[in-house]
């Protein structure tokens, strides 16, 4: 097994290349060649594919890409190269069981199979979404109080005591500690103190990450984010997060946000880049689990056809070739108190569940505004559980998702998106429950999805 | 292409070839064909407008409709830079002979602000601006505002374009505007801001000259600001 100090050495001593040349001559060109070699294509009418050969080809192309390129260190402008055997050995060693949280609230993550009837685990929250301090705790209550939630992810604080949080400033230390204090306190208040968390998100730089590696804040049974930069890149800031976890032991969530339409080109190339990213981040991020979050170049959301397809094929590629714990983000375009949000959540949850992922979300309103509530998280979990229980075929699931797409795809043409309303406009804040209009919308859409064929919902 | 093949080309052939090479994003071929076209006596302004810019327009349109993706955009930006390096002396000579010919598109200093390392959106805007004929000085990511300002002064920029993907790095954009006020240079430079979390309301609140929701709109905004300045 590769010693992490060896990776640090390679980041210093690997071949030099400019970033522009890495992006274009290495990532873009090599990916295009792989897409051509394997004749990779996608059909927007099949966002859930029933083609094992395609999933395998995407995996093989991604593995080749990872072997040929390695990972770029932006800090040193060097390539961190790996021997093919090191990457393959890393894939064989990926965790097959991971306990998050503690006591009665602990959950065990596991790799899900395609059409797995075991229920996906539910990470509740609006990951990465900026929240004003006055809404943060209420948002967390909204997610954590949902019985279907297994673990908590969270948004970020934008201010601490009226002061703006700035990347790299000392206030990030206070911000992350404040975030963790609120999370831990809230979990105790809702009676789930041992719930596992993916947290420490209020500090973008490594400062906040270093500041909360303590059992009073982020426990070893919780997770923190180790992002891989677009595309196939790391830097010392993020490597510092990995190093910070070495003895302490907190769970490393390898976040890969491949841009669909970015350097990989169209959806198939983006999927290849995404696969290669996970294969590399497995070593560079010492990943305990993979956090899949493709971003659409224009629309951001994970609910476009292309991003749904990428989530589908990347999950199937790993489920068939290198089973690992895959948690997949739902980032809808729409926000609270819109029907489209619920349609988006349903479509995305079906795609993730039947193709081998656990569910995390929802990052409502593109995660830009605090316009998410516990209700759509509940719906995400309910749809995911129903899709797993019901034993849908991939074709049936695809048909359902296509129906749902017709219900919400128009929002991608809206110049201002479909952000909906803030939590405090969608919830009765005294009792922390949906206002009647939001509750009614949820019940109507749930009924519609049931009629579309998800009868166990 | 061989010397003999070049010799048989008409002016229309050259222009069509330049356009196609720009669309293909081949930097070496772009430099070569422009050199050959100049040797064949083509007007540098015709090469610029009917060849290079026309090709770049096609790429921009195909990107906008989703037919092209980021790599094509960046390759075209690179091919344009290579072609312009060859063309520039002839263009300058033509402008010196007849200053009325000079079409000022604008000079932009662009970068992702300090402590933010996200570059895809910034690269898209940078490539689109280059493809639209702007002189672009891309300072990369994690750029301190003093560096942006120093470069803007050095190249006599018309526009400073700042990108931020993080809500926690967005305040740096406001710092730049405050710095420009403090140095008395706010009127000298237009400032445009962008990035996923940046809204028109935010741009207005910090006193920027505008924001755009995508790379194509960013070019339109830059063109509008330049034209207002003239």
Domain count, chain B: 2
Can you tell me the distance from the alpha carbon of A442 to that of B105, in angstroms, rounded to the nearest whole number?
52
Chosen from B65, B118, B138, B168 to mutate, greatest number of chain A CBs within 10 A = B168
The residue length of chain A stands at 457
Query: With contacts defined as CB-CB under 8 Å, which chain A residues touch B143?
Result: none
pLDDT for residue B228: 86
Residues A34-43 have a mean pLDDT of: 98
Q: Which residues in chain A touch residue B123, judged by CB atoms under 8 angstroms apart?
A: 23
Query: What pLDDT digit, counting tens, does each position of B15-37 carry?
Result: 999 999 999 999 999 999 999 99
Q: Name chain A contacts of B75, Cβ cutoff 8 Å.
A: 24, 28
Instruction: Say how far apart CA A383 and CA A349 lie, in whole Å.
Output: 6
Q: Which of 217-246 (A) contact B at CB < 8 A?
A: 229-230, 235, 237
The residues with which A159 forms a beta bridge, in sequence order, are: A164
Q: Using DSSP bridges, classify how beta strands A433-434 and A427-428 pair: parallel, antiparallel or unpaired.
A: antiparallel
Taking CB atoms and an 8 Å limit, are B166 and A262 in contact across chains? no
Q: What sign does the dihedral A319-A322-A326-A329 (CA atoms) show?
A: negative
Residues B168/A167, Cβ–Cβ less than 8 Å: yes
Query: Which run of H or E residues covers position A197?
Result: strand A196-198
Residues B119 and B169 in one domain: yes
Hey, are the CB atoms on A23 and B167 less than 8 Å from each other? no
CB spacing of A204 vs B166 below 8 angstroms: yes
Domain assignment of residue A81, yes or no: no
User: pLDDT at position B133, please?
Assistant: 79
Q: Does residue A58 belong to any structural domain of this protein? A: no
Cβ of A328 under 8 Å from any chain B Cβ? no
Lowest pLDDT segment from A28-37, A313-322, A366-375, B119-128: B119-128
Q: For residue A444, give how far its alpha carbon lies from the nearest alpha carbon of chain B (Å).
A: 32
Q: Per-residue confidence at B167, pLDDT binned at 50, 70, 90?
A: confident
- Give how far Cα A188 sits from Cα of A152, A192, A399, A417, B103, Å: 13, 6, 42, 36, 66
Average pLDDT over residues B189-216: 91
| Predicted structure pTM score | 0.91
Average pLDDT over residues B202-229: 90
Whether residues B111 and B224 share a domain: the answer is yes
pLDDT of A418 strictly over 90: yes
CB-CB under 8 Å, B118 with A23 = no
Is B101's pLDDT higher than 80? no
Q: Is A262 a domain residue?
A: yes
| Residue B167 buriedness (CB in 10 A; 0-12 / 13-18 / 19+) | buried
Domain around B55: 3-101
Of B116, B138, B158, B209, the catalytic one is B116
Using a CB-CB cut-off of 8 Å, the residues of chain A touching B214 are 298
The alpha carbon of residue A452 is apart from the nearest alpha carbon of chain B, in Å, by 31
Same domain? B111 vs B225 = yes
Which CATH number fits the domain that encloses residue B222? 3.40.50.280
* CB within 8 Å: A297 and B118: no
Instruction: Give the pLDDT band of residue A1 (cuts 50, 70, 90).
Output: low
Q: How many CA atoms lie within 13 A of A113 on its CB side?
A: 5
Query: Is 80 exceeded by the pLDDT of residue B131?
Result: no
Q: Give the number of A-B residue pairs with CB atoms closer than 8 Å.
A: 77
Q: What is the pLDDT of residues A347-384, one digit of tens each?
A: 999 999 999 999 999 998 988 889 999 999 999 999 99
Q: Is residue A46's pLDDT more than 70?
A: yes
Q: Cβ-count burial of A432 within 10 angstroms (0-12 exposed, 13-18 middle, 19+ buried)?
A: middle
Q: Which residues of A fall within a CB distance of 8 Å from B206? A: none
Domain boundary among B51, B79, B101: B101
What pLDDT was estimated at residue A80?
A: 97
Query: CA–CA separation, A332 vs A328, rounded Å?
Result: 13
Res A145: pLDDT = 97
Which of B118, B126, B132, B163 is an active site residue?
A: B118
Q: How many domains does chain A have?
A: 1
Give the single-character DSSP code of B113.
B
Query: What's the whole-number mean pLDDT along residues A440-451?
Result: 98
Q: Taking CB atoms and an 8 Å limit, are A259 and B171 in contact across chains?
A: no
Shared domain check, B195 and B94: no
B146 plus B225 within the same structural domain = yes
Does residue B120 share a domain with residue B224? yes
- The answer, for A265 touching chain B at a CB cutoff of 8 Å, is yes
Q: Which of A28, A167, A266 sits opposite B166 (nearest CB)?
A: A167
Secondary structure (DSSP) of A407-445: HHGGGGG-TT-B--B-HHHHEETTTTEE-HHHHHHHHHH
A230–B118: do the CB atoms touch at under 8 Å?
yes
| Position B104 confidence tier, pLDDT thresholds 50, 70, 90 | low
**Strand partners of residue A227:** A255
Domain termination site, one of B83, B101, B119:
B101
CB–CB of B171 and A74 under 8 A? no
**Cβ–Cβ of A205/B123 closer than 8 Å?**
no
pLDDT of A167? 87
Residue that has been written with the tokens 């349109």 in this structure: B61
Q: Which of B50, B67, B101 is the last residue of a domain?
A: B101
When pLDDT is cut at 50, 70 and 90, the band that residue A406 belongs to is: very high
Q: Are residues B132 and B79 in the same domain?
A: no
Q: What is the pLDDT of residue A141?
A: 97
| Domain CATH for B68 | 1.10.1240.10
Asked if residue B116 and residue B214 are part of one domain, the reply reads yes
Lowest mean pLDDT among A261-275, A338-352, A419-433, B128-142: B128-142
Examine the domain organization and report whether B182 and B208 are in the same domain.
yes
The reply to whether A6 falls in a domain is no
Arithmetic mean of pLDDT, A281-304? 95
Question: Do both B153 and B187 map to the same domain?
Answer: yes
- Residue B137 is a catalytic residue: no
B118 neighbourhood in chain A, CB within 8 Å: 229-230
DSSP A361-414: E--TGGGSSS---HHHHHHHHHHHHHHHHHT--HHHHHHHHHHHHHHHGGGGG-
What dihedral do alpha carbons A450, A451, A454, A455 form, nearest 10°?
A: 80
Domain range for A305: 98-452
Which of A413-422, A439-448, B64-73, B200-209 shows the lowest mean pLDDT across its residues?
B64-73
Min Cα–Cα distance to chain A from B94, Å: 32
* CATH code (residue A147): 3.20.20.460
Structure tokens at B43: 């007007």
- Are B72 and B125 in the same domain? no
Distance CA B119, CA B127 (A): 12
Per-residue pLDDT tens over the stretch A139-161: 999 999 999 999 999 889 999 99
Query: What does DSSP assign to residue A33?
Result: H
Q: Which position has the higher pLDDT, B217 or A377?
A: A377
What does the pLDDT average to over A411-426?
94
Residues in chain B with CB shorter than 8 Å from the CB of A414 are none
Q: What is the predicted pLDDT for the residue at B36? A: 94
Mean pLDDT of A295-310: 95
Inter-chain contact B168–A165, Cβ cutoff 8 Å? yes
Residue A366 near chain B (CB below 8 Å): yes
**Residue A228 CB-half CA count within 13 A:** 33
Q: Residue B129: its pLDDT value, please?
A: 86
- The span from the CA of A360 to the CA of A292, in Å, is 10
Give the residue from chain A lying closest to B63, CA to CA.
A261
| Closest CB from A28, A203, A229 relative to B71 | A28
Mean predicted lDDT score pLDDT of chain A: 96
**Chain B: residue whose CA lies nearest to A201:** B168
Q: Pick the more confident residue, B92 or A94.
A: A94
What is the distance of C-alpha A196 from the center of its chain?
16
Residue A63 lies in a domain: no
Best of A77, A297, A365 to substitute, by most chain B Cβ atoms within 10 angstroms, is A297
Residue B230 has pLDDT above 80, yes or no: no
* B216, pLDDT greater than 90: no
> Is the minimum CB–CB distance between A261 and chain B shorter than 8 Å?
yes
Q: Which long-range contacts (CB under 8 A, 24 or more apart) does A14-18 make?
A: A14/A70, A14/A73, A14/A76, A14/A78, A14/A79, A14/A80, A14/A81, A15/A78, A15/A79, A15/A81, A16/A77, A16/A78, A17/A72, A17/A77, A17/A78, A17/A79, A18/A77
List the structure tokens of B54.
């026309």
Q: Is the pLDDT of residue A316 over 80?
A: yes
Q: Which residues of B touch A415 (CB under 8 A)?
A: 213
Q: Which of B151, B85, B137 is nearest to B108 (CA)?
A: B137
Active site residue B126: no
Between strands B107-112 and B135-138, the pairing is parallel
Tokens of A242: 């990995």
pLDDT band at A85 (very low <50, low <70, confident <90, very high): very high
């Amino acid at each position: 097994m590769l010693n992490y100090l060896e990776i640090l050495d390679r980041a210093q001593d690997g071949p030099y290349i400019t970033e522009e040349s890495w992006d274009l001559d290495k990532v873009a060109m090599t990916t295009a060649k792989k897409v051509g070699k394997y004749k990779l294509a996608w059909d927007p009418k099949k966002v859930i594919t029933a083609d094992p050969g395609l999933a395998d080809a995407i995996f093989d192309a991604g593995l080749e890409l990872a072997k040929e390129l390695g990972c770029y260190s932006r800090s040193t402008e060097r390539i961190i190269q790996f021997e093919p055997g090191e990457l393959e050995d890393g894939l064989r060693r990926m965790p097959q069981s991971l306990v998050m949280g503690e006591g009665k609230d602990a959950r065990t993550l596991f790799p899900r199979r395609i059409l797995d009837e075991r229920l996906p685990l539910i990470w509740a929250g609006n990951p990465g979404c900026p929240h004003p301090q006055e809404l943060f705790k209420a948002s967390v209550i909204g997610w954590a109080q949902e019985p279907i939630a297994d673990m908590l992810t969270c948004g970020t604080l934008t201010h601490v005591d009226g002061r703006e949080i700035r990347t790299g400033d000392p206030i990030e230390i206070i911000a992350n500690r404040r975030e963790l204090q609120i999370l831990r306190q809230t979990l105790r208040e809702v009676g789930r103190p041992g719930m596992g968390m993916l947290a420490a998100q209020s500090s973008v730089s490594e400062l906040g990450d270093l500041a909360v590696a303590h059992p009073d804040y982020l426990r070893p049974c919780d997770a923190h984010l180790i992002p891989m930069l677009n595309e196939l890149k790391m830097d010392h800031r993020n490597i510092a997060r990995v190093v910070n976890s070495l003895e302490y032991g907190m769970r490393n969530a390898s976040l890969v946000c491949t841009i669909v339409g970015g350097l990989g080109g169209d959806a198939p190339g983006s999927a290849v880049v995404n696969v290669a990213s996970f294969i590399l981040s497995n070593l560079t991020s010492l990943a305990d689990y993979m956090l899949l979050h493709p971003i659409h170049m224009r629309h951001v959301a994970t609910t476009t056809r292309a991003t749904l397809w990428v989530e589908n094929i990347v999950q199937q590629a790993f489920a068939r070739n290198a089973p690992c714990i895959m948690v997949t983000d739902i980032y809808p375009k729409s926000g609270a108190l819109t029907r489209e949000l619920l349609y988006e959540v349903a479509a995305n949850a079906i795609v993730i569940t039947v193709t081998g992922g656990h569910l995390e979300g929802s990052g409502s309103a593109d995660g830009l505004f605090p316009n998410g509530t516990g209700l759509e998280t509940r719906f995400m979990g309910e749809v995911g559980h129903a899709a797993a229980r019901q034993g849908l075929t991939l074709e049936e699931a695809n048909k359902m998702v296509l129906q749902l797409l017709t219900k919400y795809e128009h929002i991608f043409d809206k110049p201002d998106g479909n952000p909906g309303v803030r939590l405090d406009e969608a919830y009765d804040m005294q009792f922390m429950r949906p206002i009647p209009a939001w509750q009614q919308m949820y019940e109507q859409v749930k009924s519609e999805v049931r009629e579309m064929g998800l009868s166990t919902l | 292409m061989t010397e003999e093949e070049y010799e048989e080309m008409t002016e229309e052939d050259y222009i069509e070839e330049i356009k196609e090479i720009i669309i293909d994003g081949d930097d070496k071929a772009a430099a070569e064909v422009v050199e050959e076209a100049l040797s064949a006596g083509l007007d540098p302004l015709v090469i610029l407008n009917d060849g290079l810019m026309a090709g770049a327009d096609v790429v921009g349109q195909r990107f906008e409709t989703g037919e092209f993706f980021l790599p094509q955009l960046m390759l075209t930006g690179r091919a344009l830079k290579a072609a312009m390096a060859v063309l520039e002396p002839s263009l300058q000579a033509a402008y010196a002979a007849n200053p009325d010919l000079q079409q000022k598109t604008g000079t932009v200093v662009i970068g992702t602000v300090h402590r933010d390392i996200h570059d895809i959106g910034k690269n898209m805007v940078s490539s689109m601006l280059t493809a639209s004929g702007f002189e672009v000085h891309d300072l990369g990511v994690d750029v301190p505002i003093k560096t942006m300002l120093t470069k803007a002064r050095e190249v006599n920029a018309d526009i400073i374009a700042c990108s931020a993907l993080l809500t926690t790095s967005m305040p740096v954009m406001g710092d730049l505007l405050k710095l420009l006020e403090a140095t008395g240079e706010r009127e000298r430079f237009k400032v445009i801001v962008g990035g996923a979390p940046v809204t028109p309301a935010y741009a207005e609140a910090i006193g920027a000259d505008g924001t755009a929701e995508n790379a194509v709109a960013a070019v339109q905004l830059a063109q509008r600001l330049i034209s207002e300045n003239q």
